[in-house]
Each structure stands twice: as structure tokens, then as C-alpha cells.
Amino acid sequence: MQKGAILVLSGPSGAGKSTIISAASENIGEYYFSISTTTRKSRMGEENGRDYFFVTKEEFEEDIKAGNFLEYAQVHGNYYGTSLKPVREALQAGKLVIFDIDVQGHRLVRAKMNDITTSAFITPPTLAALEQRLRARCTDDEAVIVNRIKNAKDEITAVGEYDFTIINDTVEIAAKQFVIVAKAARLKQSSEDEEKFITQWLANNLY
């Protein structure tokens, strides 16, 4: 059975992460897209259990105390977190687990599961292009857009912490690059895998 692996995607809101995943989905093998739990209100068209798990602040904080999150953070005044159970189940089933999380979340996943984690930072080619996209989608008011742009300026400074950078100028090219990154994530060996390989390799000794 194919081994499970983790692929963390980060990037500014409006970078096109979901669009790229959708465009590449038929070419990356079996995967599980980790659905975040959040305390923010749902947007038009979003469904509970498909886009996010929407919970109250009190429910989220109870899960924090119970240790039910792989990672969590406060972003734009709301909690976002990744539940451990479905991630473990997907990894055991040999799936590629894809996360769409922020820089803080990436650092936390790296700290806990670095051996099987590959990461990519997805961004438009320029800050101006990002602002244009945020305004074009007409889902946020001016204050939210300004805040997202401010956060993007902060997040771009962490790009060096990621294994790959995907510049989303055109979705077609970015999706092809994403497929390459996804395949690379599956090939990454954990420390345990490396030790097993070395032991087996040395055991087949003719001398």
C-alpha cells in the first residue's frame, strides 16, 4: 500500500490555492483535503463539513483543552484548527493529506510531523496582483481587504521556510507545478524509513 504523506499549502488569501488543487486533483493520486474547524461565520455558498467545520468559540476552546487539534491559531480574530483524528485515519489509509493553513500552522505541523511533511507557498506574482484578485471576488469589505493585504506582507517573509514556491500567474502552469510537488511529497522518506532501508541494504551482504 502506498504510504501516507502530508503536503502543507500556505499563501495569502486570494492566492488561488483551492483553484489549483481543483485543477490538479485528477493527477495527484488519492488524497484527503484536511477540512479546518473554525469559529468564523460561514460565507455565502459554504457548507458545514464540506468547506469548514463551523463551531462556536466555546466548542473550539473545549477541543483545545482536550488536545484534539494537530494545530490551531487565531487569524483575523477567529480560531482555525486541524482535528487530529481524520488526519491520522487518512495517513493510515496511505493518502496524501493536503493542508491549506497559514504560516503559524505550517510551523506547528512541521514541529509535530516534520518527517512526513512537505510544504509549498502559493502566491500571486506581485502584491498588486493579489490586491486586484481580492477586490475582484467581491466577498470582503474594505477593512477586511486591507487586513488581508497587511497579513500577506507579513506572510511573504516566511517563504524561505517552505520546500517549494508556486507563483500562481496562470492556473494551468501553477497546477502542473503543484502536481510535481505532490508527487515529491509522496517520495519523501521519514527517518524510520531511512533506518529500515539502511538496515535492509546492509543485511544483503555478500562478505
In this structure, what CATH number is given to the domain that contains residue 126? 3.40.50.300
pLDDT of res. 134: 85
Provide the residue range defining the domain that includes 154. Answer: 5-203
Whole-number Å distance between alpha carbons of 197 and 193: 6
For the chain, list residues with pLDDT below 70: 1, 206-207
Number of domains in the chain: 1
Cβ-proximal residues to 160 (8 Å cutoff; 6+ apart), any chain: none
pLDDT digits (tens, 9 = 90+) for 30-56: 999 999 899 998 888 888 888 899 999
pLDDT of res. 207: 63
pLDDT of res. 14: 86
**Pure H helices in 7-161:** 17-24, 57-65, 84-92, 103-113, 127-136, 142-155
pLDDT of res. 194: 84
